Amino acid sequence: MKIGILISGRGSNTVALADAVASGEIPGSEVAVVISDQPSAAGLEKAAERGIETLVIEKAGRKRADHDAEIVAALTERGVELVCLAGYMRLLSPEFVRSFPNRIVNIHPSLLPSFPGLNVQQQAIDHGVKFSGCTVHFVNEDLDAGPIILQRVVEVKDDDTADTLASRILEEEHGAYIEAVRRVVSGRLLVEGRRAIYSSE
C-alpha cells in the first residue's frame, strides 16, 4: 500500500512512520511521497534524507478546494492509497475526504472526543484532567471526529506545562501511529459506523 504523508512542520511522526516502513515494521507498505503546505517544514528535509520524494504545495491565496485538488492529484498520480496527516495544519475539504474514503488517518494529541482542535495540551491542563494521550483516527468531514483506530494514555502531572505534557504525549504518538498504520495496511481493520474494529488473527 503506497502511503502519502502530509505535513506542515517538524515531522517527527513522519520520521517514525518512514523508519518503521523501511525496517519492515509495517509489512506491505511504502512511503511514496511527503507533501508540505509550508516550504520551511523541517520534516521535508528529514524525508528527503531518507530517499523519499518531497513536494511543497502552498495554498498561495487559492481556495481550499483548489489547493486540495492539487494535492489529491499529486497523491493519485503516485498511486497513493493511504494518506497520513502528521502535523498537517489545514482542514481538508469535503472533496479531499471523499477522494479517499476511510483512507485518510490523522494523529491528534488528546484523547478524543475530548479536546479537538488546537492548543489541546493547554486545554487538557486547564480543564484539570488527570490523563491525556493521543488518538489515531480516520478523517471524516468533521474536525477530529472520525472513527478511532487506537489511543494511548499518559498521565497529566500537577506541574505539567503545555510543553512538558506535549513531549510526554509525543513519546507515545510515534508508536501509536506506527501500530495504527500497520492495522490499516493489514486489511483487518473494519469501519462499522462510528467504530473501527481490528481483528488480530
Q: Which is nearer to ligand GRF, 77 or 142 (CB)?
A: 142
Three cell numbers written together for 60: 498561495
Residue 175 to residue 11: CA distance in whole angstroms: 14
174 catalytic? Reply is no
Q: Which among 67, 108, 137, 174 is annotated as catalytic?
A: 108
Q: Which is nearer to ligand GRF, 80 or 180 (CB)?
A: 180
Contacting positions for ligand GRF (CB under 6 A): 7, 9-14, 43, 86-87, 107-109, 134, 170, 173
Residue nearest to ligand GRF (CB): 87
The CB-of-199 to ligand GRF minimum distance in angstroms stands at: 26
Residue 184 to residue 107: CA distance in whole angstroms: 14
Q: Assign 156 to helix, strand or coil.
A: coil
Cβ atoms of 11 and 42 within 8 Å: the answer is: yes
The CB-of-107 to ligand GRF minimum distance in angstroms stands at: 4
Residue 80 to residue 91: CA distance in whole angstroms: 19
Cβ atoms of 86 and 6 within 8 Å: the answer is: yes
The CB-of-170 to ligand GRF minimum distance in angstroms stands at: 6
The residues annotated with a catalytic role in the active site are 108
